């Protein structure tokens, strides 16, 4: 998909990994990455496995594949000489951010969670498994972006494999189990009018992570895709200020 490619913006010794959401691409992170790079950061935004091409390429990919994509982005930052690392993830990217922070609790100077998903009822795994035998894809009914100009530029898939929904449920179970190991300073941004990931996900994360320093920030004009929606510049500025405060 033109415009869905990963990007790397070299800068200083502070690096920020940007992780996009499910069925999306680094396109949703590009303007944010440019804003962070302008503030002197080195920015890496990998393309998560199975994304940015066709929904068929996503089918068969599992959450360890997505985590491996994130690790590749971290490796690029370290190879550039970044000594302080931040991770910022949107939606699925937020769940992956939490997985990284739980796996290596002292590796990150801070994490930023944007419309992060943490909860899909595990009981849905059984009916989804039945549906997947006859209907391999779930069609997305709408793009959850309030800004019509941003919505017109949206590069997300119009359907998601059922197998992807199943592996996402498995990932979230792993992430919830590890929230007590997340100790990095944490900024949690969420949209009050998010129709994809309800705000209770952000509240749950805030209540269960072990970080002593954690902050919730609510956005009032955007829907789910807050990095490109009406509140995007507030998201970028709040993230940049959080990173600056911890460097």
**Active site residues per annotation:** 91, 194, 224
- Residue of 47, 51, 42, 52 whose CA lies nearest to 8: 42
Cβ distance 145 to 154 under 8 Å?
yes
What is the spatial distance between Cα 167 and Cα 59, in angstroms, rounded to a whole number?
10
| Secondary structure letter of residue 47 according to DSSP | P
Backbone angles phi, psi at 216, to 5 degrees: -105, 135
| 133 Cβ contact partners less than 8 Å away, ≥ 6 residues apart | none
Here the contacts of 196-200 (C-beta below 8 Å, separation 24 or greater) are 196/91, 196/115, 196/144, 196/223, 196/224, 197/91, 197/115, 197/116, 197/117, 197/224, 200/119
Which residues on neighbouring strands pair with residue 98, listed in sequence order? none
- Report how far residue 70's alpha carbon sits from residue 107's, in angstroms, rounded to the nearest whole number: 14
By residue count, the chain amounts to 247
């Amino acid at each position: 998909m033109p415009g869905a490619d990963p990007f790397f913006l070299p800068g200083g010794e502070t690096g920020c990994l940007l992780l996009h959401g499910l069925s999306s691409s680094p396109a949703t992170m590009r303007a944010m990455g440019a804003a962070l790079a302008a503030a002197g950061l080195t920015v890496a935004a990998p393309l998560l496995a199975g994304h940015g091409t066709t929904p068929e390429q996503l089918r068969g990919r599992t959450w360890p594949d997505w985590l491996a994509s994130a690790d590749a982005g971290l490796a690029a930052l370290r190879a550039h000489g970044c000594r302080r690392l931040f991770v910022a993830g949107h939606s699925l990217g937020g769940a992956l951010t939490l997985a990284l922070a739980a796996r290596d609790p002292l590796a990150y100077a801070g994490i930023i969670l944007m419309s992060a998903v943490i909860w899909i009822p595990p009981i849905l795994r059984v009916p989804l498994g039945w549906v997947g035998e006859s209907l391999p894809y779930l069609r997305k009914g709408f793009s959850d972006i309030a800004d019509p100009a941003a919505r017109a530029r949206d590069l997300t898939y119009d359907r998601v494999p059922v197998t992807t929904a199943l592996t996402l449920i498995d990932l979230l179970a792993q992430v919830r189990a590890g929230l007590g190991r997340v100790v990095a300073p944490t900024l949690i941004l969420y949209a009050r009018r998010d129709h994809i990931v309800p705000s209770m996900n952000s509240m749950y994360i805030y209540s269960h992570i072990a970080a002593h320093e954690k902050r919730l920030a609510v956005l009032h004009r955007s829907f789910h895709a807050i990095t490109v929606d009406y509140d995007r510049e507030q998201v970028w500025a709040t993230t940049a200020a959080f990173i600056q405060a911890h460097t």
